[in-house]
Amino acid sequence: MKESQTWIGKPVSRVDGYAKVTGAARYAAEFKSDGLVYGVVVSSDVTKGKILKIDSRSALACDGVIEVITHENRPKVSFWNRKFGDQDSPPGDHFRALYDSEVYYSGQPVALVIAETFEAARYAAKLVVITYELEEYETDFHSRLEEAYAPKETKPGFEKPKSRGDADEAFSQAPHKISAEYDSPTQHHNPMEMHATTVVYEGDDTYTIYDKTQGTANSQAYVCQVFGLSPKKVRVRAPFVGGAFGSGLRPQYQLYLAVMAAKKLQRSVRVVLTRQQMFSFGHRPASVQTVKLSAGEDGVLHSVGHSVTAETSQLEDYMENVVSWSGMLYKCENVEVKHELVKADIFTPLDMRAPGATSGLFALESAMDELSYEIGMDPLELRLANYTEKDQNYFGRSFSSKELRACYEQGAAKFGWSKRALKPRSLREGKKWIGQGVATGVWDALHMKSTASAEFTSKGELKITSGVTDIGTGTYTILTQIAAETLGLNLENVTTSIGDTDFTPAPLQGGSWTAGSMGSATQAACFAVREKIFKLAKKLPDSPFSDAELSDVLFEGGEMLLKKDPSRSVSLNDVLKSSRVDSVKAEGTSAPNYLKELPHARNTHSAVFAEVKVDADFGMIEVSRVVVAVAAGKILNPKTARSQILGGVVWGMSQALFEETVTDHRLGRILNHSFAEYHIPVNRDVPEIDVIFVPEADSIVNELGVKGLGEIGIVGTAAAVANAVFHATGKRVRNLPIRPDKMV
Amino acid sequence: MNPFQFERSSSSSEAILRMGKNSRAKFIGGGTNLIDLMKEGVESSDFLLDVNHVGMNEVLELPGGRIRIGASVTNSDAAYSGLVEERFPLLRDAILAGASPQLRNMATCGGNLLQRTRCYYFYDLATACNKRENGSGCDAIAGNNRIHALFGASDACIAVHPSDMCVALATLNAEIHVLGPNGPRVIRIADFHRLPGNDPTRDNTLSRDELIIAIELPPSPLNHHYHYAKVRDRSSYAFALISAAVGMNLEAGKIQSASIAMGGVAHKPWRDSRAEKLLIGKRPEIRVFRDFSEAFFKSARGLGHNNFKIELGKRTLVRALEEASLK
């Protein structure tokens, strides 16, 4: 008997790591095709108006230029605006590039230049002369706050804020209270890989599309709806995605333009956006939040008020869950929450890195910190004084599991929180003030219907396939681990292939639901394969399993063996060979069990502890230490899990200190659209980050008990940093990012 | 990016001859700025002449304690050359405060002198910019001017010079050796970069067909008490909001001489020799440094978003002087 091996919970290195570092892993802009031509997007210089004239003559006169596609000569697209919707679109009229002469925002794609070489297309794109009729515009929602409204129809995933009790009355009566306004800037996703699509024209109106997307099925459906194509003729592949952070949740315009060009020219086309154009579509919306908290001497909350007004486009009503967390994170009878929008002449915002929670928890957790100083109470004690075991947003339902208390305890112990001085400006080292802050993080443990396919061959190989994408999070690796463990195989015997609409349908990769949902689907598919192999084994002549049930059998080391008598075993490939079967195949689906899941709140939690050093003269802030304790159910792979949390924490620091899309609102133009000027942390900014995974058993969220880690790392981190800055200096900065000019 | 011809020159005199014939030609060193600008359409040269192989790639010791840094020496090679580290550590510190290791490995010292501003508007063809196209206007003046000039700006342009290296060169009174069709000449660093005035398209006093051959540094008494301070929005790979290169000569507890240049505040590294005189003969004390910084910033004019740089600038000067005096 071979040695038994388990894979779930082991720090396995990425199974796709070798392919990535050797360049064998190919991304959307790297697929080749004979006769491939290149499209370069011409972006609008003006912010609002109508295109009067497009003069493409100079562009077309360039060597190698094939076509300039504009709204005047584009191929037919659907007349119905709703056909431009997708799995993640907010209500409203959806943006349609090159549809008509309307310009809705600065940077809008207005033409596509196609040439035999990328260089020719890029040069010619600068030669397209466009004449506009200009219209008045307003890109700054701050100047229209009085026009705020609450849309009737909302986006999938948006929870309508629910108030309870009488927050105003409680606030007015309470001995301690704070009320503050927090300002979050526009931010752009900025994955390393620019959005790109390579459309391979297969003839007969048939297309294989390599797209940068978080949802192959979403891109496929969009292309089919918009261009009236049959899904049989459109295959979308995204085997590797170079980061996305939400930017690939909706089909982006490079996909639409590349397909449009391929259709018009009946040729293979590639369109890659520039870094500057990465600032010309979805983004985290700028918002203004007001948080009002009141409490008694003991720190127990009497009221929570949280309202947000955020920007959206003229076309769609984008909403994300900013304030609903404030009704569930702490115990409180009086809660008033509100979410409103203001229209501006910008592109529609888009889910980005823990959408809603990232901004909402910055405000709530900053306010909790402010309240702690108002009361004179340790900020961690304040949170513990308001700890809740019930989700009051939903009639006090219990949590499927909640180890937040353990997060606070283990994080505080590791960080050395108990040694922290209560007063701000207590610790100085040379020219630097040192401070420490804490904040709570929370995110959903969502379960989405997912399907995976498993096929075991007589050669002893297991193939896992699904349409789901891996956006760098480690999906390949965890699916491989789950499959190997379920069938008792070595990792080398499992091949996972994903990101292809020819495979089984999968949801968008996002919302932290992939590991739990796809993992459970993969496990289900492998269970089904196991059962099929078992049935074959029973029928073999002199089978040791003839009287056995499936539950009497173990799958280990490539073999099936009787639990009672492990010496009676047979190798899985022998079962197939002896049965004269080449392969055994099954699909597995994991879908929400509402009866089981809805009676419980299902969430991940974290406690983030940060230490900062602030230059007393310059206000330059260095994050010197972060400890984050996370409760997220079962951890499939501590190594890739840690990487996800590290990434999240770095983005949280980025939110606190660096990230801001700067717009000149007179011109309506984004100014800092490059990596030189749109700052994210560099290596030198990132300190030692301690990640603790607090054990948390959960039998409700999904079959595996996995809650997902995609977002929980970022949520709360910005507040922890901002709270540490206050503790260091006594200066409270409520408008992010906290840059030197706000500290001086 | 427009199509262009790329050729390599093997001698500096040949390079100058070839440049003379084409008004849209440009020399290229590391290309770390020029190529970016061409991609954005800000520069549109149709002929690039590579001058990395014309024998300007050494750091040499000259008689009398001078050193000579060839124009095509990379920023990294200059910073880590023994001569620079030993004799001009201020220059080393300034170079290493700039850009990122990858960029410093590519960028040349000659090219660094010719770095163009990071003004957002300069990079965006959809906006008005007199530096790109004189007469088109300046969208920065009434726009987002957080990173713009406090000194020497004009009604036409408020851009700042982005280099760290040049700030130290200004403090060290470097000489820029250039070669043109009429032979060699030497330009003092103070005269090399210019203020925008009515013609912001010109960043410096170099003629189009002149080639930077080398940077020479005269022996300096400032190399014991020196400091380069840089305040920026993140700890690396960020241009200076404010920087200061300070060198002083202390004897018997008093300042014998001092040289101070600031970056991030003007169209060129900014010096104030009158203010510098205030330091002479004084003890290196915070009070003295504060008086100096007040005098230095007396003529500073904020534009709105960049007002914070005045206070920040004063603090930076005080800190740099303090650090230098304690070295």
Average pLDDT over residues A452-456: 98
For A249-288, write each residue's pLDDT tens digit. 999 999 999 999 999 999 999 999 999 999 999 999 999 9
Asked if residue B218 has a cis previous peptide bond (ω within 30° of 0), the answer is no
Of A123, A622, A669, the CB nearest to B126: A669
- CB contact burial A74-111 (16+ within 10 A = b; e otherwise): beebeeeeebbbbbbbbbbebbbbbeebebbbbbbbbb
Task: Provide CB contacts within 8 A for B119, sequence distance 6+.
Answer: B129, B131, B140, B147, B148, B158, B159, B160
- Find chain B residues with C-beta within 8 A of A620's C-beta: 231-232, 235
What is the spatial distance between Cα A295 and Cα A290, in angstroms, rounded to a whole number? Answer: 17
**Which chain A residue is nearest to residue B142, measuring alpha carbons?**
A666
Q: Which residues of B touch A677 (CB under 8 A)?
A: 118, 120
Each residue's pLDDT tens digit, B102-155: 999 999 999 999 999 999 999 999 999 999 999 999 999 999 999 999 999 999
CB contacts of B240 in chain A (<8 Å) are: none
A254 located within any domain: yes
Q: Is A374 a catalytic residue?
A: no
The neighbouring-strand residues paired with A540 are none
Closest residue by Cα to residue B196 from B250, B148, B146: B148
Q: Which residues of chain A neighbour B321 with C-beta distances below 8 Å? A: none
Query: Is residue A305 assigned to a domain?
Result: yes
Shared domain for A559 and A685, answered yes or no, is: no
Strands B47-50 and B25-28: parallel
Confirm whether A631 is domain-assigned. Answer: yes
Contacts of range B26-32, beta carbons closer than 8 Å, 24 or more positions apart: B27/B51, B27/B211, B29/B71, B29/B72, B29/B107, B29/B108, B29/B110, B29/B111, B30/B74, B30/B106, B30/B107, B30/B108, B30/B111, B31/B106, B31/B111, B32/B99, B32/B103, B32/B106, B32/B107, B32/B111
* Residue A372 neighbours by CB under 8 Å, 6+ apart: A299, A378, A379, A381, A382
Question: How far A307 CA lies from chain B's nearest CA (Å)?
Answer: 29
The answer to whether the Cβ–Cβ distance between A672 and B120 falls below 8 Å is: yes
pLDDT of residue A2: 46
In a domain, A383, yes or no: yes
Q: Terminal CA-to-CA distance of chain A, rounded, Å? A: 70
Q: B274: how many CB neighbours lie within 10 A of its CB? A: 10
Are residues A381 and A421 both part of a single domain? Answer: yes
Asked if residue A514 is part of any domain, the answer here is yes
A174 and A195 fall within a common domain: no
Which of B232, B236, B319 is closest, CB to CB, to A617?
B319
User: Catalytic residue among A485, A696, A703, A711, which?
Assistant: A711
Whether residue A5 lies inside any domain: the answer is no
Residue A4 confidence (pLDDT):
55
Residue A10 falls inside a structural domain: no
Distances (CA, A) of B159 to A114, B129, B147: 36, 10, 8
Q: What is the pLDDT of residue A602?
A: 98
> In a mutagenesis test of the A interface, which of B37, B44, B120, B145 is the best target, namely the one with the most A β-carbons within 10 Å?
B120
Asked if the Cβ–Cβ distance from B118 to A679 is below 8 Å, we say: no
Answer whether A478's CB lies under 8 Å from A640's CB.
Answer: yes
Domain contains A413 = yes
Are A740 and B231 within 8 A, CB to CB? yes
Read off the tokens for A279: 């600032």
Chain A residue with minimum CA distance to B126: A45
pLDDT digits (tens, 9 = 90+) for B253-269: 999 999 999 999 999 99
Interior/surface letters A689-720, b for 16+ CB within 10 angstroms, e for the rest: bbbbbbebebebbbbbbbbbbbbbbbbbbbbb
CA distance B35 to chain A (A): 14
Other C-beta atoms closer than 10 Å to the C-beta of A429 total 9
Asked whether residue A563 falls in the same domain as residue A627, the answer is no
Element (H, E) at A197: strand A196-201
3-state secondary structure of A38: strand
Which residue in A has a C-alpha nearest to residue B323's C-alpha? A431
Domain count, chain A: 3
Residues A632, A674, single domain; the answer is: yes
% of chain A at pLDDT higher than 90: 99
Which of B234, B310, B318 is the best residue to mutate to test the A interface, defined by the most A CB atoms within 10 Å of its own CB?
B234
What is the distance between the alpha carbons of residues A126 and A118, in angstroms, rounded to a whole number? Answer: 13
For chain B, the helix, strand and coil percentages under 3-state DSSP, each to the nearest 5: 30, 20, 45
Listed in order, strand segments (DSSP E) in chain B are: 5-8, 25-28, 47-50, 59-61, 67-70, 175-180, 183-188, 211-217, 225-231, 242-251, 254-263, 270-271
Contact A667 B139 (CB under 8 A): yes
Which residues does A contribute to its contact with B (CB < 8 Å)? 45-46, 106, 119, 122-123, 126, 431, 617-620, 622, 657-658, 662, 664, 666-667, 669, 671-672, 674, 676-677, 679, 681-685, 739-741, 744
> What phi, psi does A157 have (nearest 5°)?
90, -10
Give tens-digit pLDDT for B176-222. Answer: 999 999 999 999 999 999 999 999 999 999 998 999 999 999 999 88
Contact A106 B126 (CB under 8 A): yes
pLDDT digits (tens, 9 = 90+) for A287-303: 999 999 999 999 999 99
Q: B318 vs A684: CB contact, 8 Å cut-off?
A: no
Provide the pLDDT confidence category of residue A230 given band limits of 50, 70 and 90: very high
Question: Are A123 and B125 an interchain contact pair (Cβ–Cβ within 8 Å)?
Answer: no
CA distance A669 to chain B (A): 9
Is a pLDDT exceeding 70 seen at residue A345?
A: yes
**pLDDT classification of B1: cutoffs 50, 70, 90:** confident
Q: Residues A656-671: what's their mean pLDDT?
A: 98
Per-residue pLDDT for B19 more than 90? Answer: no
Local structure of A110: helix, strand or coil? strand
Question: In this structure, are A527 and A604 located in the same domain?
Answer: no
| Residue B223: per-residue pLDDT | 85
Judging contacts by C-beta atoms under 8 Å, the chain A residues touching residue B3 are: 119, 123
A492 and A602 share one domain: no
The whole-chain average pLDDT of chain A stands at 97
Query: Would the CB atoms of A119 and B3 count as touching at under 8 Å?
Result: yes
Q: Cβ–Cβ contacts within 10 Å for residue B277, how many?
A: 13
Residue A557: give its domain's CATH number.
3.30.365.10
Res B20: pLDDT: 79
- Identify the pLDDT of residue A1: 39
Q: Are residues A461 and A556 in the same domain?
A: yes
Query: A507 with A551, same domain?
Result: yes
For residue B327, how many other CB atoms are within 10 A of its CB? 12
* Residue B120 to residue A667, Cβ atoms within 8 A: no
Chain B positions with Cβ closer than 8 Å to A: 1-3, 41, 100, 118, 120-121, 123-127, 139, 142-144, 146, 231-239, 241, 308-309, 311-312, 315-316, 318-319
On whether the CB atoms of residues A271 and A260 are closer than 8 A, the answer is: no
Instruction: Please compute the mean of the pLDDT values over residues A130-157 and round it to a whole number.
Output: 96
| Contact at CB, A682 and B100, closer than 8 angstroms | yes
Identify which of A123, A667, A679 has the shortest CB distance to residue B2: A123
Note the pLDDT of residue A339: 98
A123: domain CATH number is 3.90.1170.50
The model's pLDDT over A469-521, given as tens digits with 9 standing for 90+, comes to 999 999 999 999 999 999 999 999 999 999 999 999 999 999 999 999 999 99
A:B CB pairs within 8 Å: 89
> Which of A591, A613, A637 delimits the end of a domain?
A591
Side-chain-side CA neighbours of residue A544 (13 Å): 17
DSSP of A209-267, one letter per residue? EEE--S-HHHHHHHHHHHHT--GGGEEEE-S-----TTTTSS--HHHHHHHHHHHHHTS
Nearest CB to A666 within list B124, B143, B312: B143
Taking the C-alpha atoms of residue B155 and residue B138, their distance in angstroms, rounded to an integer, is 8
**Domain, as residue range, for A558:** 17-24+448-591
Specify the pLDDT at position A737: 98
Helices (H) and strands (E) in chain A, counts: 16, 31
Contact B234 A122 (CB under 8 A): no
Residues of B within 8 A of A744 (CB-CB) are 308, 311-312, 315
Domain termination site, one of A548, A568, A591 = A591
Task: Give chain B positions within 8 Å (CB) of A658.
Answer: 233-234
Same domain for A722 and A576: no
Q: Which among B124, B308, B312 has the least Cβ separation from residue A669?
A: B124
Are residues A530 and A491 part of one domain? yes
The SS3 assignment for A69 reads: strand
Considering only CB atoms, which chain A residues are within 8 Å of B121? Answer: 671
Same domain, A726 and A642: yes
CB within 8 Å: B233 and A739: yes
- Domain end marker among A591, A615, A637: A591
How far away is chain A from the Cα of B100, in angstroms, using its nearest Cα?
10
Contact across the interface for B235 and A682, Cβ inside 8 Å: yes
Q: Is there a contact between B146 and A741 if contact means CB atoms under 8 Å apart?
A: yes
> Which of A42, A615, A620, A653 to substitute to test the interface with B, most B CBs within 10 Å?
A620
